[in-house]
Chains A and B, each alone.
Chain A
């Protein structure tokens, strides 16, 4: 028997299932079941909280899911995503196999690999979601391969990141922009102390080195396979040669590094440096509008392209509110949600959807988004380069801290 609550859930789900006819036909019963069970749940979304735009976006998502599906979101503000992973590990160690405290994690890279490899994730979750069919799995390869780890539907993509350099055009003329690792070194020689990168223990810091590694290497495909002891030294020799020359030219003579990209952006805003880096091609525009960077900032990538990756949400195996978490994950894939996420007035992160799979109305959601002088055109961004295998990053980080520790 269908009670009143189920009916309500059904009617609420209808616009969500919307135009994805196939999904509506086949999954009406399991998904409505999920929607019904989700109602009234509070999802503890563990997400890095160092970015206010994202925090505001999460708050907005919570308002939407609450209104539409009765699913509230409690944003657990993390200083580092690993805090949530540790929490789940601690729960498993203590034998708490259900009713866990983490429902949803903003995750990718080593954190995702660790959780997937140790069986700490619930899923596959992606096939369950009505909006799964809209995800771009061909051109945006990072949606299905996360740092060479196959995602296998264990996590749901929600925002795409591509490395861009952001610079102050009032101090660095657009014509002088260094569009390769070699050119960056030349520029740094002329402008000592005006460049830095985040601490390599931080993801953005290691990405800076990985980007240089790929740019300097004759054979970037090598990095899709796990690193070996012998192979690592040979393959990274050009990188360390380059970095040993660059480091003394960095801000604070390369003896001190900003903790993360946000801290580095602050340095650019304070006038301490001229170039920062971001994983969001829209960040310069977003930050300029928010008063976090001068209006004169612009973006560039290396001529050969730059590394891209996808941010996912994943659900721990012991999550107390799995259904609510699924509802939130599906809502994140909504074209309207994705368009809002790409809007530089809100989040400004590139969508994860396949433009070819969108209806004309859905496509229009993206066409009407506002522009900005600091916003690069899609063509300017260049090719997306795949993230190297995680073992490269681990080894690079270890080697870097060995070389720089006092």
Chain B
């Protein structure tokens, strides 16, 4: 497995002349997690958008993102190999659970049967045996969150961006899902950025914490 380090270099984001993020640099080693905290509107989501390459053109941004030596700045989002978990699970409603996972699974896994096996194995690991043919709409919130995580990981990302993925889950589920996400990230050696405003998230992530304030 390739393990990379995620480099953020001198990132600055402004909107309409207002500085959201000023000269942010960080190095996130494989399996490590950088937690970015702050109130709404502080720019933490804009930071994730910048890293993933989907920042709205209304923002002005400087700085550089790299995975080891691979500079991502000119790459479109789909070529950056950054897995993202959003606040919503965003499972595609027209595809089955298995279909959602197959969408993420690289085409290098060839043959219908082989693809099916990979997906069932992944579901099995996550305690979701026999869920492949289910409609996502029939799943519970916790199950959907796990499928979203599986989908992100099956695409074989080199880093993980977490955009408050635990915020909408209830307490008990949140605890359990947090453990699952960070366990996977560490096991696969994925450098991770977590954006949240929940201190408990930061504690669970275990890495360094960056607090942004509204300026």
Direct contact of A and B (CB under 8 A): no
